[in-house]
Structure formats: C-alpha cells, structure tokens
Amino acid sequence: MSRTIKNYIDGDWVESGASTLMPVHDPASCEHLADCPDSTAADVDLAVGAAKAAFDEWRGTPVLVRAQYMHHFKVMVEDNFEEVSRIVVKEHGKTMDEARGEVRRGIESIDFAMSVPVLMRSDGLEDISSGIDETTVRQPAGVFAAITPFNFPLMVPLWFLPTAITCGNTFILKPSPQTPLSTEFLFEMLDELDFPEGVVNLVNGAVPSATALMEHPDVTGVSFVGSSAVAKIIYETCTRNGKRVQAQGGAKNYIAVMPDADIEASVKNILGAAYGCAGQRCLAAAVAVGVGDAYDALKDELAKQVANLKVGYGLDETTQMGTVISDSAKERIESMIAQSATEGADVVVDGRDFNVAGYEKGSWVGPTLIADVQPDTTMANEEVFGPVLALMKADSFDDAVDIINQSRYGNAASIFTSNGKNAREFKYNVNAGNIGVNIGVAAPSASFPFGGQKDSFFGDLHGQGMDSIEFYTERKIVIERWV
Ligand code: NAD
C-alpha cells in the first residue's frame, strides 16, 4: 500500500491537511514510491509559526555551536552516503555515479556553512570622530524559505539550508513534488541531530504551498531554483510582498569549439556535459558551436560516440545515462526534436521511441544529436531539459560569440581552445554567469556564487558563496561614544 509523505514542522512529522495527493514514481521501473501531499496555506502557516517562534532562541545560540551542528550533519550524510544516493536514483532516474556526485556536491555546501563563524564577521573603525567608534555587525534576518526543483533533489536544498541556519535564521524547505523523497531522508537525518524545534521545517507540495510561503508576512526571504518562467513569478511575487529573493532560472548553455581545440578531449567533455543526468541540468551543454573546420570534426566524432552511450536503469552501475523525469517530460522533449526536424535541422542520432529491455514503461529518451541547427529556431533558443545536443556552425570566433550572446539565457557558456587570446576574449565578452574554458560543465564550487545572468537569474544576490552570507544576514552599523 502506498504511503503519504509527511511534513516536518516544529520538530515533528505531521500530516498535511492537503486534499490532493501527487504520486511519486521511479521513472525507470514505474514503481509507485509514495504520494506527496499538495500542502495548503494552513500547513505553511504552521511551519512559519514554528520557524518564527524558534528564531530568538536559535539566533542566541552561539555561532560556533550552530556550526557544530553542521559538523554532525556532514558526518551523518557521509554515513548514509550510499543510501541517500540510491534514493536520488530511484525518484529521479539518474545514474548511481551521478547521484553520488550530487550528494558529494551537497556535502561541500555543508562544509561551506561550517565557515560561517569566519564569514559572518564584520569590520569596524575607531575614532571616526574624536572618541567615537563605528562597527558593522551581521545578524540573522529571520525566517527563510527555499523552493527547489526536481533535478538535484538533494544538492539544491543544501545550497541554502546549511548556510541559512548556521547564520542564525530558521528555515522552511518546499522541495519539488516530483522528487520529495531525498529531502524526506535529509530531514530524517536533521531530526536525529536534535535541532531546537522549529529551526528546520519541511512542507511538501506544489504551487499553493509555494505561493503561501511567498505571501506570508513572517517570511523574510525566499531562495528559488527552477525554470525561468516560474523564477520570474517567484521574483515578482516576493518583491510585491516586500521580501528579499534570489531566483535562479533555466538555461540554454552554449559550448564553442575552436579549430585549434583538441577535438578528442572536447568531445569527451561535451558528451558528459550534454548527456549527464539525461541533460536535466541547468548547466547541461545544449548547443555545441563548431567554429570553421571544427564543425565537421565535432559532428563526425559526436555521431560515433553518442549512439554508443549505454542507457539503462540508474541502479545498474554500468549505466551511463538514465531516464528523464516523467512521461510528460519525454513527450515535451520528443516534440521538440520533431519540431527541429520540421525547421530543417538534421537529426543525426534520434532518441525518440527509445526503450530499455525490462523497463519498457520507463520515461526513456535516447541520446539525441541534431546538426545544422539555425540560430532563429526553437532548438537554438528554448531549453529542452533532456538528452539533446544541438550543433551549430559559426564562421569565426566573433560569429560564435554573437550566436551565444543572442540567447535570452545566460547561465553558462564554455569554450574549447588551445589559444589564450580566444579564451580571454571569451571570458571578457560572453554574457553568461558561469564561464568554462576547456571545461564542459562550469559548475561553481560552494564557496563561489552561482551566477546566472539575463533570464537565468532574477534578483541581486546569487546563491552560495559570499552572496549567500549577504542574503541570509542583515547588517547593522553601531556608532559608539563612551564618556
Ligand atoms: P519548475 O520551475 O517547474 O519548479 C521548481 C519549483 O517551483 C518546484 O518546487 C515547483 O513545485 C515550484 N513551482 C512550480 N510552479 C510554480 C508556481 N507557479 N508558483 C510557485 N512555485 C511553483 O522547475 P523544475 O521542472 O522542477 O526544474 C527544472 C528547471 O530548473 C529547469 O528549467 C532548470 O534549468 C532549472 N534549474 C536551474 C538551476 C540554476 O541554478 N539556475 C539549477 C537547477 C535547475
């Protein structure tokens, strides 16, 4: 019999008052794993009330003690590393290696939070006037919430929760209803760490709970990661309600390959960047732009290798690529491939109607390679979020930069080259928040901000790094005279 996931509020697992349940499936085996409640505004109100009530005691807990919680949290995630990785695979469909990579990245964010006692320190100046001293102090700012996507169900919540609470705030997470099981396990671990009640809270659901968080008067700020269309809604709703907000959106990431690049090494990197997590990464390589002679070399080599990727069930350690998240994602991706063919592109490797023996009902899309994609087509401009790599041709370096900069997205862009001048001009001129040079997935480590631009980000302070310390704290200036 199916079980319904509970919310975690005020130190207890509690049933949601939801009247709607959303099934959670293993997208490869189609096993019905659980039901996720579509929590209501009343559920959110309970969580915010608990987080607000916990704030004063938690902010008064010494910062070194708060950081120690992170030490214990890290040890617990390490101890459960394989189990949590398996949960990520089951609910998401990625491979076991990809899930392990995700959990490792999540742990890096817990490591970063352990530095909060250093990073929250501020500055001061004596004698700004005779006998008067001025200092800055950073204080926690209140109750924060995060609304997170399906594609990194464990890692993305960890971009926010550890730093927010170690800064002294209290926290509510609303994960994706498509992948709520990794965060359920995360909160089972947090529960064992005996945080004061109300410091960490979990509300499962979709739009109603997200909206209630954004509109609740006692929520100070919201961190969001998801598609650009929703990021824009989040940004507008939060700002209208007077909240601070950081909303990381979708992407269409370009990789330029110069004729002077090492084609073999470039192809190896591009394969990982395009088909890793079945293309469901905001840093996935979506378009490879071959400059001059690099185009044909790239197309030939990719065509050989793409078709050989081993697609299968993520828990099989030999699998190189898993499923996409759902049947509706499969339909969307397949229709975008069809549209690209209609728009005149050449579908060199076609992943439509793909299947894996033993898992015939799974949401499979095979790795797809589409050549001769033109700049003004859907495939060049819209996010596919699936295992589809488009190939475009550019006559020159400048032409490639123009193609990349016409995109409405600006999450990441990479160049493969052996020429330092090209690399330097690429870094200088390309409008994207994360730039890779001979790197396929330009993923910032936890101590750097994740810096999308244009429609890939709405807000001022990005997630992670020093930006997250700014986002999760309030600065106060103290001016003192003692006579
Ligand atoms: P999504 O935008 O559909 O959902 C993200 C979250 O928003 C979920 O928790 C969902 O329940 C909630 N939500 C959906 N509609 C809402 C609404 N109208 N109001 C309030 N909340 C709403 O995204 P997804 O499909 O879960 O994730 C994939 C997307 O996330 C892709 O576009 C990908 O590029 C993006 N992404 C971006 C980053 C980044 O750092 N920029 C990282 C990972 C994923």
CA atoms lying within 13 Å on the CB side of residue 427: 11
Q: Does residue 451's CB lie within 6 angstroms of at least one atom of ligand 1?
A: no
State the greatest distance between any 2 C-alpha atoms of the chain, in Å, as a whole number: 83
Q: State if residue 207 touches ligand 1 by the CB under 6 angstroms criterion.
A: yes
What pLDDT score was predicted for residue 451? 84
**C-alpha distances in angstroms, 196 versus 10, 203, 221, 383?**
8, 18, 21, 42
Q: Which residues contact 352 (CB under 8 A, 6 or more apart)?
A: 334, 337, 338, 365, 366, 368
**Token duo for residue 398:** 């400048």
Taking the centre of ligand 1 as the mean of its atom positions, its distance from the CA of residue 288, in whole angstroms, is 25
CB-based contact 364:330 (threshold 8 Å)? yes
Q: What is the pLDDT of residue 468?
A: 98
What pLDDT score was predicted for residue 1? 66
Report which protein residue has its CA nearest ligand 1's atom 16: 207
Tokens standing for residue 127: 């004698």
Residue nearest to atom 30 of ligand 1 (CA): 226
Query: Is 449 a pocket residue for ligand 1 (Cβ < 6 Å)?
Result: no
Number of the ligand 1 atom closest to the C-alpha atom of 177: 11
User: At 335, which amino acid appears?
Assistant: S
Could you tell me if the CB of 227 is within 6 A of ligand 1? yes
**Structure-token match 């659901």, residue found:** 205
- Alpha-carbon distance of 86 to 100, in angstroms, equals 9
Query: Which of ligand 1's atoms lies nearest the C-alpha of 456?
Result: 41
| 407 CA to centre of ligand 1 in angstroms | 20
Distance between CA atoms of residues 373 and 312, nearest Å: 28
Distance 228 CA to ligand 1 centre (A): 8
Closest CA to 169 of 244, 78, 72, 75: 244
Burial class of 122 by CB neighbour count within 10 A (0 to 12, 13 to 18, 19+): middle
Contact status, residue 145 vs residue 118, Cβ threshold 8 Å: no
Tell me the β-bridge partners of 474: 139
Q: Is 383 in the pocket of ligand 1 (CB under 6 A)?
A: yes
Query: What is the pLDDT tens value at each position of the chain, 483 positions in all?
Result: 689 999 999 999 999 999 999 999 999 999 999 999 999 999 999 999 999 999 999 999 999 999 999 999 999 999 999 999 999 999 999 999 999 999 999 999 999 999 999 999 999 999 999 999 999 999 999 999 999 999 999 999 999 999 999 999 999 999 999 999 999 999 999 999 999 999 999 999 999 999 999 999 999 999 999 999 999 999 999 999 999 999 999 999 999 999 999 999 999 999 999 999 999 999 999 999 999 999 999 999 999 999 999 999 999 999 999 999 999 999 999 999 999 999 999 999 999 999 999 999 999 999 999 999 999 999 999 999 999 999 999 999 999 999 999 999 999 999 999 999 999 999 999 999 999 999 999 999 999 999 899 999 999 999 999 999 999 999 999 999 999
Strand partners, 136: 477
| Rounded distance from Cα 41 to ligand 1 centre (Å) | 20
**Distance between Cα 205 and ligand 1 center (Å):** 13
Spacing, Cα 152 to ligand 1 middle (Å):
11
With tokens 């001016």, the residue in question is 479
Ligand 1 atom with minimal separation from the 178 CA: 26
In the annotation, is 30 catalytic?
Answer: no
For residue 261, how many C-alpha atoms fall within 13 Å in the half-sphere facing its CB?
Answer: 32
Q: Are 453 and 431 in contact (CB under 8 A)?
A: yes
The residue whose CA is least distant from atom 19 of ligand 1 is: 207
Question: In this structure, what DSSP letter does residue 276 have?
Answer: G
Angle between helices 207-215 and 228-240 (to 10 degrees): 30
DSSP string, 64-124: HHHHHHHHHHHHHHHHTHHHHHHHHHHHH---HHHHHHHHHHHHHHHHHHTTHHHHT---E
Pocket perturbation via mutation, ligand 1, pick of 282, 330, 458 by most ligand atoms within 8 A of CB: 282
Phi-psi region of 72 (alpha: psi -120 to 50; beta: other; left: phi over 0): alpha
DSSP-assigned states of every residue in 421-442: HHHHHHHHH---SEEEES-SS-
Within 130-180, strands assigned E span 132-140, 143-147, 170-174
CA distance 24 to 22: 7
Q: What is the pTM of this model?
A: 0.98
C-alpha angle 121/126/128, rounded to 5°?
A: 115
Which of 36, 238, 277, 282 is the catalytic position?
282
Is any atom of ligand 1 closer than 6 Å to the C-beta of 464?
no
pLDDT of residue 2: 83
